[in-house]
A and B are shown apart, each in its own frame.
Chain A
């Protein structure tokens, strides 16, 4: 068996640049599929841009920006079936929109409101993971457990470049390899963990190179190319369904925005580099591709944008219309059968609050 590390190849890319690099295509995608991808990209982009505005308006709390990460999320989810499960980190907070989670629900989460809860089984989307990499073993356990039950379900976990330094990533990848879990470890390498560049994160030539140590293939793909991401994920899904085990995908992009609304990235990034990356951001790159193909008119593009804006308008209105949560939600659901002390605590709190 040959052991070529992915570091030797260029990033996989399908969308050209309209000049020297020719456009490729994915044969299995219909024109409707291509437009659906665009619709999803615009939905997530709109979600992100509106969220930053909502934050500045004081309508949501601190928010983790995912601008220029949309192609990674949209392309990979498009390669899944509804029965497959998604395990997002906070950088993929709105990925559930692609599975029908209402925008109001995700916005409520960022508003710190209990209406931001959902049942993962309803959407095949796990709760958003805030600590770094600790959800990767969940995805692996879910994939492994599904295989043991004879169910054809794949799990995909999203995490950043910084997460690959965490023990949880290492342990999860180890389990995935040993258990031949039908799992996809999807690393969105945006090259920054808050202020720490990926060069300070690892001495490995690429993050995909780590895969060989876990006995799984590592793939590197241009994370700003939605079609390349789709194709790489589809191959990983096929491997998983065929019982061949997990895949590590390193999707390389660039974090062309601060880590979060509370971050001041001007303290550590090269602004000129950010400017270049913003000009080549993933949604515009795909939109220009569709225009070159002649499958997207400016009227259609406008309609898609307006639809996404309407989703957000309705979402924030619904989130803001949520009543202030009752204090009983502090206690409910912490245990299936609450210990007596918690029942007493609620009664005491109600007495003090006069509620």
Chain B
């Protein structure tokens, strides 16, 4: 075990996977000489050369579009999108090709590429450096999505994504790149996609969260100690979704609060609420409540603390489902 920051765990994971598999390459804006604007790719170009850690032109659709062709030539590209809101030009490739090509070739060709990107707010950044766009990606058939909340998972989910035969998008919570610190296994470490994690056990209510919102959920549980016993379920992977883990937790607690940073309408919390309505309605003792960003543009940062779900808002939601 090593004590690492979340962004260091990402970097460690990339080193290990590139060492293990010579077909893995990293590409993106400023990922080489600079090591990425968050330094997630520091050291890779020195270690593996400029052909396997590639500084690309500033063109997100070009990055993902050429990555499709690189897959056809036998590579496993790991594409960095520099920021959440800058990834949207690549959605054309993702929706039209990345998620579709395997099916179009009747499974004969795989597109084992990874997109990793820092996402989410709370970092006092200029506009359009704060989005939580996971829903757009989850909605694309053929594409898997993972979001770690701990350093160990950041390494392990990334390794699983790189080894997966299908395209996987990994959203890294940039707010906790250098706030989350913890034990990370040395060497190869894989956290399978589709397995949620109980971050904290409880009996009265399940707070479902992912990414930076797991920390908010945990602090909510701490704040309510003595008043309510909160279970915190860290989804880790949105697609595939660990439905069994979700349903088991809610069967135990009978109540669910779902937390996401993204705007509310059609966000991933709505999917969780729908799954619970379809499959857990008789286990529920209260309506499912969502705590989300609002359906407004992500604000200038002096207002962002009011936009991003806070412990106070999640506490309020828990009290509502408990009827207290």
Contact = CB atoms under 8 A, between A and B. Distances in A.
Interface of A: 85, 114, 117-122, 126-127, 131, 134-146, 148-149, 151, 153, 155, 167-168, 171-172, 174-175, 178-179, 332-337, 339-341
A340 B64 CA distance: 28
A171 B67 CA distance: 13
Contacts of B61: 134, 137, 167-168, 171
A119 B105 contact: yes
A5 B104 CA distance: 40
A141 B57 CA distance: 13
Contacts of B25: 148
Contact of B62 (A137, A145, A155, A341): A137
Contacts of B97: 134-135, 138
A143 B92 CA distance: 21
Given A149-B74, A174-B59, A175-B66, A335 B102 contact: yes
Residue of B66, B68, B97, B241 with most chain A CB atoms under a 10 A cut-off: B66
9 contacts: A118-B108, A134-B93, A136-B65, A138-B69, A141-B69, A141-B72, A148-B73, A174-B62, A339-B240
B187 interface: no
B68 to A, nearest CB: 5
Given A137-B62, A171-B57, A174-B59, A339 B74 contact: no
Contacts of B57: 171, 174-175, 178
Contacts, number: 144
B307 interface: no
A172 B142 CA distance: 24
Nearest to A178: B57
B224 to A, nearest CB: 33
| Interface residue range, chain B | 35 or more
Contacts of A332: 106-107
B290 interface: no
Given A140-B65, A178-B56, A339-B240, 20 more contacts: A117-B104, A119-B106, A119-B108, A135-B97, A138-B69, A141-B70, A144-B66, A144-B69, A167-B61, A168-B65, A171-B57, A172-B62, A172-B65, A175-B56, A332-B106, A334-B142, A335-B142, A336-B165, A339-B239, A341-B243
Contacts of B59: 171, 174-175
A134 B240 contact: no
A120 to B, nearest CB: 6
A272 B68 CA distance: 43
B51 interface: yes
